Amino acid sequence: MVKIAKGFVTNHDESPAYWQIGNLWQVMATGVQTDNAFCLLDQVVVTGGGGGPVTHSHTQDEGMYVITGKCTFNAGGHQGLQGTPGTFVAIPGNTEHSFTVDEPNTHILNFYLPAGFEQLLIGISHPAKERKPPPKELIEEMLPPRWLAEKLSDDYGETSVLGNPFVDKPDPAKMLTRPTPGATLFPFISSANNLETYTTMGGCWTILASGEQTGGSYAFLEVTFRKGLVIEPRMYKDKDEIIYIFEGKMTFLLGDKVLPATKGSLIYIPSTTVYSAKVESEGAHCVNIHTRSGFDELIKYVGTPGKGQQRVAPSSDFVEKSVNAGARLRLLEKIGLQELAIGRFLGSA
């Protein structure tokens, strides 16, 4: 298949925005842009005290990261998993799941592999009149007709287990989940506050989802970069990379385009795209997604281990852990990451 995806930056205040079921959905990356490999939505939910989707499943792998607020997740027979800021929830394809939103204006990143689910959400939603969740008095009026929600669910791989998540209201009896028969991958929840960190490459990294946990589908990392960091030119042979900036300002060179990115920006870097970047602010706090996995292995090999509570970017004079150069090169070849010695980007750190 001919690859047509190009690198891009979607800024938070420019993304397509929709209202539905009490949510503000901002579509940061679609399957059309990523060769159907990946989509990501930035989601703010106005309702609290139990609002959320009833039990359902879908063919896509799903990942959710809680930025602010609180949720309670149920997945694959596990009930009552608490999601607070910094929590990541991984849901393999065809796994029953549901969740409740426990605090108003909870902010979540929500991605799917492969893409497609974003088209279901767009199809049942209304263009947002402003970039905040819809007024509560409009929520009921905007519910889609059941026939439309069911048709789009069928088209895009969603199975309604205890009701349709886009029509039926939350009910404790409709939130229960069962294990997936014959499953080899299982849902899990992780928190950056409880995991080991790895300091390397100008950042302090936390691996919230490894390739071992996701069957190689993706790796999900959180990172704090130091001020002035220059990421030297590099390229993946057969993996895509996604960066979402929580705080800070960066400049990216994607192919022949110089693109600024700041808080709320998503940067999509498809395979075979040469890129480099520079941190322009005092630092940058980001999530870093790789599809497929492999980069997590590199971080564990070259990184200096530390405590999860001390997620502080290294200073410019930080001394990297000593590793075998040949083993590092073989690992780079294994994961298809090429470091290109073609000059620095926008000055040196």
- 274 and 248 in one domain? yes
Give the total residue count for the chain: 349
The pLDDT value recorded for residue 346 is: 47
What is d(CA 74, CA 82) in angstroms, rounded to the nearest whole number? 9
- 263 and 334 in one domain? yes
- 207 and 301 in one domain? yes
- 161 and 18 in one domain? yes
CATH of the domain at 113: 2.60.120.10
- 290 and 174 in one domain? no
- 208 and 83 in one domain? no
- 161 and 23 in one domain? yes
- 142 and 61 in one domain? yes
Q: What is the pLDDT along the chain (349 residues), one digit of tens a residue?
A: 567 799 999 999 999 999 988 899 999 999 999 999 999 999 998 776 567 899 999 999 999 999 999 999 999 999 999 999 999 999 999 999 999 999 988 999 999 999 999 999 999 999 999 999 888 888 888 889 999 999 999 999 999 999 999 999 888 899 999 999 999 999 999 998 889 999 999 999 999 999 999 999 999 999 999 999 999 999 999 999 999 999 999 999 998 899 999 999 999 999 999 999 999 999 999 999 999 999 999 999 999 999 766 789 999 999 999 999 999 999 999 999 999 875 554 444 4
Indicate whether 189 belongs to any domain.
no
Is the CB of residue 264 less than 8 Å from the CB of residue 297?
Answer: no
The pLDDT value recorded for residue 126 is: 94
The pLDDT value recorded for residue 200 is: 96
Indicate whether 69 belongs to any domain.
yes
Any alpha helices (H) in the chain, and if so which ranges?
117-124, 136-139, 146-155, 211-214, 295-302, 325-335
- 261 and 114 in one domain? no
Indicate whether 1 belongs to any domain.
no
Indicate whether 190 belongs to any domain.
no
Any alpha helices (H) in 6-135, and if so which ranges?
117-124
What is d(CA 160, CA 57) in angstroms, rounded to the nearest whole number? 7
What is d(CA 142, CA 139) in angstroms, rounded to the nearest whole number? 5
Indicate whether 184 belongs to any domain.
no
- 242 and 99 in one domain? no
- 157 and 26 in one domain? yes
Which range of residues forms the domain containing residue 211?
Answer: 195-339
Burial label for 6, CB within 10 Å (0-12, 13-18, 19+), is: middle
Burial label for 192, CB within 10 Å (0-12, 13-18, 19+), is: buried
The dihedrals phi and psi of 309, each to the nearest 5 degrees, come to -75, -10
- 70 and 158 in one domain? yes
What is d(CA 154, CA 267) in angstroms, rounded to the nearest whole number? 31
**SS3 call for 173:** helix
The pLDDT value recorded for residue 255 is: 87
Instruction: Among 153, 179, 205, identify where a domain stops.
Output: 179
Total domains in the fold of the chain:
2
Question: Who's near 111: CB < 8 A, 6+ residues apart?
Answer: 29, 38, 39, 40, 41, 62, 63, 242, 289
| pTM beyond 0.75, yes or no | yes
What is d(CA 184, CA 168) in angstroms, rounded to the nearest whole number? 30
Indicate whether 188 belongs to any domain.
no
The pLDDT value recorded for residue 141 is: 85
User: Closest by alpha carbon to 287, among 247, 252, 257?
Assistant: 247
The pLDDT value recorded for residue 349 is: 40
